[in-house]
Every structure is written in structure tokens, then in C-alpha cells.
Structure 1
Amino acid sequence: MATRLLLTFGVVFLVGRTVSTEVVSDDNVALGKPAFQTSTWGPGEPSRAVDGRTSPRMDAGSCTHTAGHPGEDNPTWWVDLGQSYAVDSVVIFNRMDSWSERLNPFNILIGDSDQVSTNPQCGGDHQIDLAKPFISVSCQGMRGRFVAVRLPGSSRILTLCEVRVFAGGNVALGKPAFQTSTYVDGGAANRAVDGRSITNFHSRTCTHTKQEDNPAWWVDLGQPYVIESVVIVNRQDCCSERLNPFNILIGDSDQVSTNPQCGGDHQIGLTQPSISVSCPGMRGRYVAVRLPGSSRILTLCEVRVFTVNAAGEHQTLTISCSAGQTMKLVTSREVCNDDSETCDSPSSLEVEYTCAAEAPARRGLEDHEVDSNKERLAEEARGLLQLLRGKQDENALRRREFGGHDVARDSESTEEYDVDDADFTK
């Protein structure tokens, strides 16, 4: 039997069966951290939203669930990151087997208080497309130890199938930057990637070109990335209107004006210090900001570039060989497009690995054998009955919500499926 190696963040697991495996990028600072919620229904524990599993089905054991019908006021889930982070984006995976509409609208709160409802809000009321399994919300560097998801309003139920929090994912920070010209009194191109987002030009944090046709600024990321979004911080002490309209170009040519354009002519609100422009799936080494037209001046107080791993970059590591045999471990990096739900594999890496002895295969029904191990059979039976009781709970709740039928599912039904009291070893 072939052995498959699964490598996750430096930890090696050997299993005896051929199974598909997904390893999530370790930029997610919420993974495995302590999680909490204002109430819990059935098996929907808050830790499920940070366990790395993104199945959108409640019965798969990967989604949270606050108090059932009729719900509660302002149900909230939160994670303690253990320390304060500058949060770039929060990705929320919604339930898809039913009731996906329950999530809308929702709020995200980020801050250092464990009284999470008092922390600052990232944006306003967010809405997820009910046909999409997840949404990525840009929080543009909001800082905090606690990240919360709240449903504003009364009689609501919160279910989350995964929450990912990405911090420090700005791939433009400190990279080489250029522009078509520089104003005589200062305004060098590298000011837009120095990590400072002060919007006053006289603080020496903003770029400035001369007045010219189609002025442009660009950053060399050093290698191609699949871009998720570009955040632009505009000047606010004066002249904020100069930025409108602007273009964003992304590609691999250092002749940046020839690279593909992200969207059309973008506009920023003049009282708005920053704008986040989504560029889903665009790939390139160079990201440029250009002002189309004649006699224009370009000033940027910061440009941040976020890559697709904030929403779905995965690594899959596999190896097949016999015990004691040295084989090559092939690491492929898949980049997934959220809209088309397709992936490509732009790069791979090969290293050598010597296979250990196989782990014994877990016995199961597919072996067509009779298993006489009573303890193992008892454990499996308990697991099946727990799953059955969870399904009963869910079905009862569904009936109540679809017409108020008086469905019994309380203490009177427990004697039929009382997992704790049953002795399966007899």
C-alpha cells in the first residue's frame, strides 16, 4: 500500500490510505486560537470556526451555531488572537446547506477589549452574496487582539463555518517603487510603501509627481502574485480631488502602462482617506497607479497590495513510496480564483524524503471483514448516534422555523438515543 505524507506547518503525519488533503496557508492568525460566542446550540461550538475546516454543512461538524429558534439579540462570535495585530482582512465562510441568509447583515469588530461589543467596527453592515461560500472583508490595518462577528438586531441566529483573520499581508511594503517624475520640493516614490499612512504631504509621507500627461507610480513586488485588492491612501490636507479618476494596472511587464487594467476609471470620495479596489485573480509582479489625461499631478500617501492568500491560497504536499525508499516530495502551490472556483498551479518544489514504515490501515466496512474489537465498535456506534441526535436537533429546529409545528425533541426523546447511558460493549 502506498504511503501519503501530509505536511502542515512543519508537522508530519503519516497515514495508510490515499486521501486528498488541503493545507491552508499559515498567514491566518486565527487558526486554532481560543474562540467564544454569546450562546451555543447543540454541537455548534465556537472553536469550529477556527479549526481549519471550511465545509459549509452543519452536519459535517465544522460550523458554529448560537442559540436556536427564536434566536437571541445581537448574537456574537469572537476569537482571541493572543496579541494585537494589524488586521488586513477577515474572511468569513457561510453555511450553505440551508439558512445562508441568516448571516445578512453582519458586523466585524476589532480591538483590544475583551468586551468585544465595545471595540471599533470594521466598516458598517456587511452583506454576503448568498450564492458564494465566503466573503473577504478588508479592514485596512485595524489593530486589535480580538476579532468579532456580530449579527445586529433581535431574534437572530449566528452560524459560521470558518473565520480567517489575515494580518501583515501587504506585499508592497518596503518594495522598490518608481514614478514618471518627482516634484522639485520632494515626494519620492518610496514614500507610498514606507508603511506610514499620514495624509498630510508636509509630514513627508506622500509621493508627488510633476504636472504632466498620464502621471504614473508603480511598485516592483519582486515576483508575480495573484492580487486580491489594492488599497490607496489619498492626500487630505489639500488637493484630494487630484486623484480622480485613477487607474490600476497589474502585470509582469516593467513597461507598466502596457499591463492589464484592474477595472476602469476609479473614483475616491474626497472626504474618504483611503479606498480598497478589488482586483480578483489578476496576476503580476508590477502594480501601478496611473492618472489618465493631460496636465495632472499624482500624489499617494500609501499603497498597499494584498494577495489572494488572504482568501484562499492553499498548499498541497504529497508523497507516495514504500517503507525505507527515498522518493521526491513534490510541493505544489495552488492559487484559487474565488469567482470561477477554479485553481491553477503556477509553481512547484521538489525535495527528497525517505518513507517511514506504513501506519496500519484503519479497519472499516470497505475491508469486507468482521471487526471483533468491541471497544472500537462501541466508539463508532456512539459517534453515529451522536451524529443522529445532532441531525434530529437540526430537523426539529427546521420544522419549528418552517411553520411552527409542535415537534417533540426534548427530554422525552432522549431515552431512545441516550448515548451516554448505552453500553455498546455487551
Structure 2
Amino acid sequence: MDPQRADTKKPWWRLDLLDQYTVTSVTMYNRGDGCSERINGAEIRNSLLNNGNSKTRTSVVQNKLGRTRLSGNTAEKMEHHIFYLLGVITVAGFTDASSMKATNLALYGKATQSSLYDNPYAPFGHAYNAIDGNTESHFHLGSCTATEFQQNPWWRVDLLDEYTVTSITIYNTGDCCPERINGAEIRIGNYLVNNGNNNPRAGVISSIPGGQSMTLTFEKGFSGRYVNVIIPGEKRLLALCEVEVYGYLTPDGENVALKGRATQSSLYETGLPSSAIDGNRDGVYNRGSCSHTEKDLSPWWRLDLLKQHKVFTISVATRLEATSERLHGAEIRIGDSLDNYGNNNPRCGVINTAMAGQIFTFDCKGMEGRYINIVIPARNEYLTLCEVEVYGAPLKMKHYIFYLLGAVTVAFTDASLRAKNLALYGKATQSSLVNNTNAAFSHAYNAIDGNTDSNYKHGSCTATETQQNPWWRVDLLGDYTVTSVTIYNRGDCCPEKINGAEIRIGNSLLNNGNNNTRAGVISSIPAGKSSILKLKGISGRYVNVIIPGNNRILTLCEVEVYGYPTPDGQKVTLKGTASQSSLYDRGFPSNAIDGNQDGVYSHGSCSHTEKNLNAWWRLDLLKQHKVFTIRVTNRQELGHRLNGAEIRIGDSLDNNGNNNPRCGVINTKNNVLSFNCNGMQGRYINIVIPGRSEYLTLCEVEVYGVPLI
């Protein structure tokens, strides 16, 4: 590749916030070792026209020393510029897939590749460049990738969750050698065997003209977490200037209706609309788990999924009594409009026969919408639904909210499948960068790229300069209780350089985080091998690796961090959905998670079943949690009825969840009882009175824990 440089008379830098924000301030840190005047005249702009350089100018840097706060304040000296912006809108990602513009999933992922072009142009060829949002096709402007000439070169993006990929766009180099992309294969799947290159082949690129792009569309979609581009053959070089991936979260078999909100045209007796999404298919109306309207003209029930979904299947459970024929002719409608209460949205299906206790299932073929309506059109009728289950996937990106649960990095999935490496979602930095021709291979990011390749020259390891106390740090972007850290050592040289490295974890950035709690020390790691440090749990946002001493170099080929969000003392109960074995009077199961500890039943804040054998109440937390404490508020009157009740936690719904492991037993009639569950894991919290016929009344259930990653 010839170093023919493009015009850089107007250099620019851009940050994609990955969503639309109202920006109120921007802080810039200037260079301190010289040439500080180079920042003079820099403008802050937003939008993507002319690479973002044509939109509203919000401020200009004027002070060459870089030490004055801009915005009218003149007295305060600073080491950086702060721009106060009033209402500037930055636009980008997390838009619904069917509106305005689909979300490029690759922007939220982590990229790696088989090797890094090993010559003076190595700094231009990093794997990350293909997911930086810049489609510039001139290699020497630093936004393309390049491997070495090798056998079967590959590039991979980890989407950090499983998606159904519907299209991929590849941008080819424009300044040289466009034929090098010829024959490249796209592979998509969930496995990392052979670095992901054994996953199903989604397509082959015959050729792409220089500086142009090619889009591969997959009608049925390919499901996977990893998207690979590989060129089979000897002495091949893979160069990519951008890879865009579009699709939606792969449905995981979860009933998304449980996370929604229900309403209906009217209310008959105790037939609340929420009863149809309580996770209980019981078709006996008087047990309190069915919705019910008055006899209305065109009665309707509506579920708000809270965001647009791609809906594949809807199941409707009917009432067991003979009145089930009332549902005949009911229509299921899906869409985003609330015109006529949502009943004008496109139709998925019609219930043409209605037998008592029947469950109807409709294939909605990926229809898109936020609202699910069931309406009986053009006649006066009661509408009763004993459960509505919706199976699909949200069309917005899944945020991995690292709590803090607040910052935007990105997705909680259940830990029952596989522990999540928290480092993949973080940001890495280090004390220095080795200052020689190998600098391009040594960036801090390499240790959290998901690639454990131990050959330094392949471009997936880090390296500092030889210095005093070199360090590397990953910011997890939230406070986590870390239970293990895995360090991968270099394999091609000098494994002893890692000896004596300390792992430090905490929330402070004093001394760059190196004063945080020492979690462990690495005595040694064999070349190309890894070491796992298991911990009882140390809380912190920052994980540091530091080697104390003079004239030391720190090299890491991968760092994996596992754990769970540090409990913040908040009740997770309020985000769940409650159900119970039956309904007495107006003792709805949701009353026990309404945040009100009032123990007087007549005040309307307690749940209440009929007098059942093995009466039970269940809370669905909607995802697996680590549960530390459960507090139960008993009824002030007749509190003895709760004696012998068991608290069970787990992921099974066998026997309505009452076979899950036991946290504790209620052996007292005290008003408030607290149980230490020692981090038991599960999605469902059950309270059951086993072996006798009894009323079960709960005036509040509080669960303290954290969702598992």
C-alpha cells in the first residue's frame, strides 16, 4: 500500500455516543508536553454531514494554553477546556430497526483479527478500525484494518450477545488492491472453535470495487454472537474499511409479555388487565388470574411492551368455564399506533373457535410493534383472558447497563447460560505504550478484545515501556463484586515479565487506581498460559494489574473479569410480577409487592388466597438474580396462619416453583421477618404453606439482590 496521504488540511476527531443525547458540556484535555497551541481554533460540531463537520458550531477553542474554562467564567484556572452547550442534540444509534435508521450492531461490539500488518504501516491496521463508524476507504487515514499475508486471515466482531443477523455491509479499501477481498466468507454463530471460523457460512464476497461497499441480506437471518470475515487460502491479506451488522436480538424463548403493562376497555369485578400477564394460565376465573371487561361494544385488552418488538408467536389461554365462546371472533393486532386504542393496527390472527380451557397459538411471522391488542369487534361482549404470552425480541439494542445500572455501555442476560466477562464491556488504559517499532501491537485495548492469542506480533497483547511500576487498568463502568480474574500471559517471549504482578480492585482512581485493595499476586504464569485468581468477592469499578519495581515491562494478552453488580440496597421486588394459587376477595398477588408494608388487610395492601391445600404465592423477577435478603411483612390479624410457610428460590416452575431450593421457614407470627439467603440464585421467589389447607396472606415481600450478568 503506497503512503499516498489524503488531504488533512482540516483534521477532525469524532465520538459516536451511540444514542441521541442533549449535550450540556464537553471537557477537553490538551497536550501538556509541548505544542499546546495546535488546539487553537478547534470547533465543536454535531451531525454526520461531512463526517460531522458541517452541522451547528457550538464553541471554539481559543486559549492556546488550554487552561481556561470557556463559558464566561474568567477567574478559574484549569488544565482543560469545558464547553457549556445549551440544548445541542447529538444524533446516532439505538433507533428502532423499522424507523428512521436501523442500528448497526457492530458499533457496540469488540473486534479482533488473526494478525496485524507487520511493517511501518501497522498502526493503521487495527481490527477496531472496522467498527469505528468511519467508512473512509483510504488505508493511510487510519480507519481500515489489515492482517499480515498469511494462511486463512480472519477478522471477528463479538456482538456481546446473540443476535439474528439480517444483513451485513462490507466496505472495501479504495486506495489499493481491492481484489484482495475476493473470496472472503462471512460466518456467523455462537462458537469460538477455530476462532469462530467454523460457524455457519452466511455468504461469500466475489468482489467489491475499490472504495465501494457490498451488502449481503439474509432473508431468514443467521443467529449468532460472533461475525467473522475470513479469506481461505495461502498468502492472503485481509483488509476491511468498515463492517456494519444489522439484525435483532435472537428470541430466547422468554415470554416478553411479563415485562409489559396491560390495560383494557373496562373492568368487571376483580378481572384486572394485569391478571392476563401474571405468568399463570389458570383458567378458573374466580381464582383471580384472568382479566375481565364489562359487556362493552368492541371490548379490548392491550399490552404495552414498552418498546418496539419483533413478534413471532402469541399464545392465548381461555377461560375454563362454558363462557369461553365469548372469545369467538376476537382479533389479535400488533403495531405502534394508539389510534382507536390500538385496535386499528395490523392483524396477526382471529380466534374462530373457542373451547373451554383452550390455548390458541398464533404465528405472527415477525410482525413489528409495541402494542398487542385483543379486540372483539362490532358486538357487545365480555372479554376475558386467562393468560396472554408473547414471544419475540426487542428491536432496540440491548443495553448492557452496568450499575450503577445507568451508564450506557451495553445487556444483562441470564448467568444460567454462561458467565459474562465484564471486561469486554469496559474501557482499558495503561501507564505507557512501548516506544519502538512494536508500539502498534501493544495498545491497552488488546487485553479486552476477546482474543487470547499469546503471540505478541499478532497484535492482540499489550505492552508498556520499561518503567517504574507499570500498570494496566480496565474500567468496568459500574461497581461490581468481582469473583474471579483470569490473566493470559505472552507465549512467544519473556513469560517471566509477569512475575510479581498485583491485581487491585476498587472504586478509587488515586494513584491511577493502584492504591485500591490488593486482591492477589501473580507469582508466575507459564508462557502462553493463563492464571485464574478466585476471590470471595471484592467490590469495585476498576481492576488494575501493576508490577511494582524499577525497569519493569507489563505485557498482557487478555484479562477476563467475572462477577456481579454490587448490591446497592435497592429492592428488586418492585420490578417483578406476582402470581398466586387463588384469589380471595381483593387480595391480589401484586399487593404484596406494592411497596406498602401496611399489615391491616382491610386497607387493601395485602395479598390473599382462598383456603387451599399447599397455598402459594410467587414472584417472577424476570431474570436470574443473586438473592441476599428477603423480608416478609405478615398480616397484623391472624398472623399465625403463616407459620410453617417456606421461602424457596430457583429457576424451575415444576410444581409452580415450589420445588426450588429453600432459603428459610417462617416459624413465628411476628409482623416483619427477615431471612438471609446467602446469595442463592434464581428467577422465582415462592412462599408456600406445605402439607395443610390454609389461607396465605402476605402484606409485603421485599427482595434484596442483584441481577446476574
| Shorter-chain TM-score range | 0.3 to 0.5
TM-score by length of 2: 0.26
Greater gyration radius: 2
Higher share of residues assigned strand: 2
TM-score (norm 1): 0.39
